[in-house]
Amino acid sequence: MRVVILSRKPGLYSTRRLVEACESRGYEARVIDPLQCYMNITSKKPQVHYQGDLIEGVDAVIPRIGASITFYGTAVVRQFEMMGVFTLNESTAISRSRDKLRALQVLSRKGIGMPVTGFARSTHRTQELIRMAGGPPLVIKLLEGTQGKGVVLAETERTAESIIEAFRKLDANFLVQEFIAEARGTDIRCFVLGGKVVGSMARQAKEGEFRSNIHRGGSAQPVKITPEERQTAVAAAEAMGLGVAGVDLLRSNRGPLVMEVNSSPGLQGIERATGQDIAGLIVEHLEKRRSTVSRARVQG
């Protein structure tokens, strides 16, 4: 099997582990920077070119599309789909999960638990927006933020008003979300693969910080999740249409709440915390799903 891994940085832990997992199973793996791809969009024979080469004979694609390149990255994934190549996560699912507002609306429609959230851009009904999310303390998020960036905790109403006013002056889209105090700075990352949670870890924010992202100094350790948490994580990934996803949950007094569904979850934290070969599981799932899809196409 010939596998293309779409990643801007071959040296990243997740990319390296996926290459190792492919090669250890006798598969050929090639890392391609999606921003360096250029495409021939035609109804008869769509093509992807990279560094002067025509990319052909590819059996499967593993997208590792960073948030900052979602638009072009998903266009490349979509081009491979047009060529009939199986992609581990489809372009529409990646786009759906990356749009935070759309993702929350999809989760809401499916009845999946999440923090009470308000959304606005230029409204001057600031106090009304604050009350909508349950009042302070509140978490205020820029829609475009990733890895905890653009996320602010407002502990008082005055602070919340100031932050909202600042975002308004930036002409930014933002979310106002209830703060789940009982989570105590801890969230749970569930790694969902093919409709199953194959690994989970608790991420604890460092002292003085409320964001538990490992990129921001948070720590991680394996955690045993409840059946309800497992069901919620799987339902969230399925709602996004993702075969592989990192679902971030908060433990609240009213049950598990979904914070985010990540279409390109990192492997370093989950593999080190759980000791599991997550990269190997991904490649095994890729082979099974590709075979299933190929048989379905032949029978169809």
| Per-residue pLDDT, 142 | 83
| Per-residue pLDDT, 184 | 85
Q: Which CATH architecture has domain 182-263?
A: 2-Layer Sandwich (3.30)
Question: What tens digit of pLDDT does each residue of 120-161 get?
Answer: 766 677 888 888 888 889 998 887 655 556 788 899 999 998
**DSSP reduced 3-state for 190:** strand
Mean pLDDT (whole number) for 74-92 = 96
Which is more confident, 40 or 133? 40
Question: What tens digit of pLDDT does each residue of 161-193 get?
Answer: 888 888 878 777 888 899 998 888 889 999 999
Of 237, 13, 256, 295, nearest in space to 113 by CA: 256
Each domain of the chain, given as residue ranges in start order, spans 2-89, 117-179, 182-263
Which is more confident, 128 or 49? 49
DSSP 225: P
Residues paired with residue 219 on neighbouring β-strands, in sequence order: 204
Question: What CATH fold (topology level) applies to the domain 2-89?
Answer: Rossmann fold (3.40.50)
Strands (E), the chain: 2-6, 28-32, 37-40, 47-50, 53-55, 60-63, 86-87, 117-120, 138-142, 151-154, 174-178, 186-193, 196-204, 219-222, 244-252, 255-262
* Under 8 Å between Cβ of 171 and 177: no
| Per-residue pLDDT, 73 | 97
Residue 20, number of CB atoms within 10 A of its CB: 15
* Under 8 Å between Cβ of 261 and 97: yes
C-alpha distances out from residue 137 to 130, 133, 180, 262, Å:
10, 10, 9, 25
Residue 77 has pLDDT above 90, yes or no: yes
Mean pLDDT (whole number) for 216-230 = 86
Average pLDDT, the chain: 89
The one-letter amino acid at 73: G
| Per-residue pLDDT, 299 | 53
| Per-residue pLDDT, 267 | 97
Of the pLDDT bands very low, low, confident and very high (cuts 50, 70, 90), residue 292 is confident
Distance from C-alpha of 57 to C-alpha of 289, rounded to nearest angstrom: 18
| Per-residue pLDDT, 42 | 86
| Residue found by looking up tokens 């964001």 in the block | 211
Burial of 172 (0-12, 13-18, 19+ CB in 10 A): middle
Q: What percent of the chain has pLDDT over 70?
A: 90
- CATH number of the domain located at residue range(s) 117-179 in this protein: 3.30.1490.20
User: Which residues, including other chains, have CB under 8 Å from residue 96's CB and lie 6 or more apart?
Assistant: 102, 103, 106, 240, 241
| Per-residue pLDDT, 123 | 60
Residue 210 has pLDDT above 60, yes or no: no
